[in-house]
Amino acid sequence: MATTRKQPPHTLVIDIGGTGIKMITTDGEARPLTERARMLTPQPATPEAVLEVIRELIAGQPGSHARVSVGFPGVVRHGVVHTAPNLSTDDWRGFDLATALTDLTGHPTRAINDAELQGLGVIDGKGVEMVLTLGTGLGTGLYTDGVLVPNLELAHHPFEKRQTYEERVGNAERERVGNSKWRHRVLRALVIIDHVFNPDLIHLGGGNARKLDPEMLPADVRLFDNVEGLSGGVRLWQGVAGTAS
């Protein structure tokens, strides 16, 4: 009698950002089953307001899923939020995001930093890899042989002129100084990050990565798009060290 190979469960992947909240459903091989849905992040972005947007997005998702992965713009330890610098509210500190979304969806949920989640979807899993996302702020992830080193939060480290990386290359500063000057700042940041961490590859994504000239980027920098990154929600359930809720 032939045996039927059990298919991995579908995963609902949620990306909470400072500007927008994105969602997609993938199969067990991280292939998209739906179009990416997006709604603006509410202002103020309190936990209750963000969960309400997620509830609305889920209502519009076709099909079904058996588990949930969520990326959050801040430090997340064991599913609990510790910082939320780009959501402009202290209400997130100590908020158990994984449990809240488990209650909301009725499915087991894992939650980590948003850039780290996207990195799981794009890394090769060999050597030292960095993931940087250019959006409202600067998201960062560090991996060694495919294993996440969690909560690096390089964005808030000193960069230049007594300012942090996020203060120099975040979206507010890009809008203030213009794309040309901002691009040169990003290139300087890439050089410093390369010298400090000596990664084999730097994966660069986020909405503002589209504003860079690929030909100006160093040879060890690879661009990726948001949908690629969201596929990291599947790998979050594959026993990667440092990621379990």
Same fold yes or no, 11-113+229-235 and 118-226: yes
- Per-residue pLDDT for the chain (245 aa), expressed as one digit of tens each? 445 566 779 999 999 999 999 999 999 888 999 999 999 999 999 999 999 999 999 999 888 899 999 999 999 999 999 999 989 778 999 999 999 999 999 999 999 999 999 999 999 999 999 999 999 999 999 999 999 999 999 999 999 999 999 999 999 999 999 999 999 999 999 999 999 999 999 999 999 999 999 999 999 999 999 888 888 999 999 864 334 33
The C-alpha atoms of residue 113 and residue 139 are separated, in whole angstroms, by 8
Domain ranges within the chain, ordered by starting residue: 11-113+229-235, 118-226
Instruction: At 219, give phi and psi (nearest 5°).
Output: -65, -25
CA nearest neighbour of 169 among 119, 114, 206, 203: 206
Two tokens, residue 155:
């964005």
166: left (phi > 0), else alpha (psi -120 to 50), else beta?
Answer: alpha
Residue 35's Cα: distance from chain center in Å?
18
**What pTM did the predictor assign?**
0.90
The C-alpha atoms of residue 212 and residue 133 are separated, in whole angstroms, by 12
Pick the CATH number of 11-113+229-235 from 1.10.3720.10, 3.40.1280.10, 3.40.50.740, 3.30.420.40: 3.30.420.40
Residue 201's Cα: distance from chain center in Å?
17
According to the model, what pLDDT value does residue 239 have? Answer: 60
The C-alpha atoms of residue 70 and residue 129 are separated, in whole angstroms, by 21
Q: Which CATH class is domain 118-226?
A: alpha beta
Place of tokens 């089953």: 33
According to the model, what pLDDT value does residue 241 have? Answer: 37
According to the model, what pLDDT value does residue 90 have? Answer: 85
According to the model, what pLDDT value does residue 212 have? Answer: 96
According to the model, what pLDDT value does residue 4 have? Answer: 53
What are the residue ranges of helices labelled H in the chain?
A: 47-59, 97-105, 114-122, 165-169, 171-177, 179-197, 226-230, 232-235
Q: What is the dihedral of CA 21, 78, 118, 146, to 10 degrees?
A: -170
Q: Where are the beta strands (DSSP E) in 91-153?
A: 109-113, 128-134, 138-144, 147-149
